[in-house]
Amino acid sequence: MIWFMLPDPSHPSGGVQMQYRMVSQLNRAGIPAVVWHGRQSTRFAEPWADAPVHRALTATLDAGDVLVMQEVGGAKWHSLVPNIPVVKIVQGHTFLIDDPDADGLPGFPGWPNVHDALVLSDYIEDVVALLSGPDVRVQKIPPGIDDVLFSPTPKDRVIAFMPRRRAADIAGAIRIATRAGLLPDGWSVRAIDGLDHEGVARALSSSSIFLSGAEREGFGLPAAEAMASGCYVVGFTGDGGREYLTDDVATVAHDNDMVLVAKAMAAAAHALDANDPLLKAKIAQGRQLVQERYSLKAMEDATVSAFRTILAPRSPSIIRERTLVQHYQTRAPRGGVLWSLYRAARRAGRRGVGLFGH
């Protein structure tokens, strides 16, 4: 059995959704896997949440099992499982870089019992390899994007953005474009916030342009979802997004270049109004890129391949004897504070502030 120890969020992040999908994919391939939450009340009704779930503060892992834990919290959580191997899934590289508690320990930062790491992007792969050295095996599992859910619908003259990401820079670019009168008449700006997964997909599918505010991101899923939805993307790669957000399919800005973003969003709006074939070709190429590299099938193939490697005979990541393991939630204050800290850490990780576990 492969155990994915997850936090107990009231609203699941993209990273939680991805791990639910991984568990479902493994079970379809005949590899038993389960999501592990610490609270009985943690339940999701979304279509992606069809994986088997164990809800308890503890779990007994048998010989031959594998435990997967995420990178958030750094070395703090090592004391939960000091004597068994752990597979780390790394969706945000900044949690490794910003963790001073990991200094001085060999191998994966703060976790000498990690022999396998799963990463989302080329950038995270480089970070983990450099920090961990050759004794940690790193395998890439690209995020899977549902290109039916995230697909173009009749487009409105709307420029969309997500205010959670690089809010000041995006707001500045919009203010410049608006005050300078750069946008054609009839165009509006839409903030995508507070929506569920399907609501985000509907908003992106009907928008024409998306402003990427990615910052210190392991991958930067919103911009890729926007490309799949037929938006022209303008903005920042945020580290991990550089593997797909390139000049042949988007307009890429250097850090804090609000003027470029303002001019580029306006130029794209004018080009779309003129039905410019070159811009339409870039949008189509961007959607095709996402369909080819980041499909659900590509994610499933990579997930199954990675865990077949991890489960191979004599793999150092296989637990050798029956062990009782405690969940993160055993260390949490009452009232769901753990998830509040988790979300704060995710936000702070993009700004280089280590709140979680310090």
**Which CATH number goes with the domain that contains 119?**
3.40.50
Residues 313 and 204 in one domain: no
Residue 151 lies in a domain: no
The mean-pLDDT minimum among 69-78, 203-212, 214-223, 306-315 falls in 69-78
Q: How confident is the model at residue 355 (pLDDT cuts 50, 70, 90)?
A: very low
Supply the range of the domain harboring residue 201.
Answer: 158-293
Contact 218, 120 (CB under 8 A): yes
Residue 150 lies in a domain: no
**How confident is the model over 158-188, as pLDDT tens digits?**
999 999 889 999 999 999 999 999 999 999 9
Average pLDDT score, the chain? 91
Residue 164 lies in a domain: yes
Give the total number of structural domains in the chain.
Answer: 2
72 vs 126: which has the higher pLDDT = 126
Q: How confident is the model at residue 13 (pLDDT cuts 50, 70, 90)?
A: confident
Question: DSSP assignment, residue 315?
Answer: -
Residues 103 and 213 in one domain: no
Is the per-residue pLDDT at 298 higher than 50? yes
Residues 316 and 199 in one domain: no
Residue 277 lies in a domain: yes
**Listed residues 268, 293, 318: the one ending a domain:** 293
The per-residue pLDDT for 48 is 84
Is the per-residue pLDDT at 334 higher than 70? no
Residues 12 and 97 in one domain: yes
Is the per-residue pLDDT at 336 higher than 60? no
Residue 356 lies in a domain: no
Residues 116 and 67 in one domain: yes
Residues 235 and 303 in one domain: no
The per-residue pLDDT for 349 is 53
Residues 165 and 121 in one domain: no
270: left (phi over 0), alpha (psi -120 to 50) or beta: alpha
Residue 234 lies in a domain: yes
The per-residue pLDDT for 156 is 98
Residues 180 and 302 in one domain: no
Residues 61 and 116 in one domain: yes
Residue 358 lies in a domain: no
Residues 169 and 112 in one domain: no
Residues 214 and 237 in one domain: yes
Residues 236 and 283 in one domain: yes
The per-residue pLDDT for 266 is 98
Q: How confident is the model at residue 347 (pLDDT cuts 50, 70, 90)?
A: low
- Report which of 274, 289, 278, 174 is spatially closest to residue 234, judged by C-alpha positions: 174
**How confident is the model over 230-240, as pLDDT tens digits?**
999 999 999 99
The mean-pLDDT minimum among 39-48, 108-117, 177-186, 294-303 falls in 39-48
Residue 24 lies in a domain: yes
**Listed residues 293, 312, 327: the one ending a domain:** 293
What kind and span of H or E run contains 41? none
Report, as an integer, the average pLDDT of 314-342. 80
Amino acid at 90: V
Q: What CATH number is attached to the domain comprising 260? A: 3.40.50.2000
Q: How confident is the model at residue 225 (pLDDT cuts 50, 70, 90)?
A: very high
Report, as an integer, the average pLDDT of 314-323. 97
* Percent of the chain whose pLDDT exceeds 90: 78
pTM over the 0.95 mark: no
**Listed residues 293, 315, 333: the one ending a domain:** 293
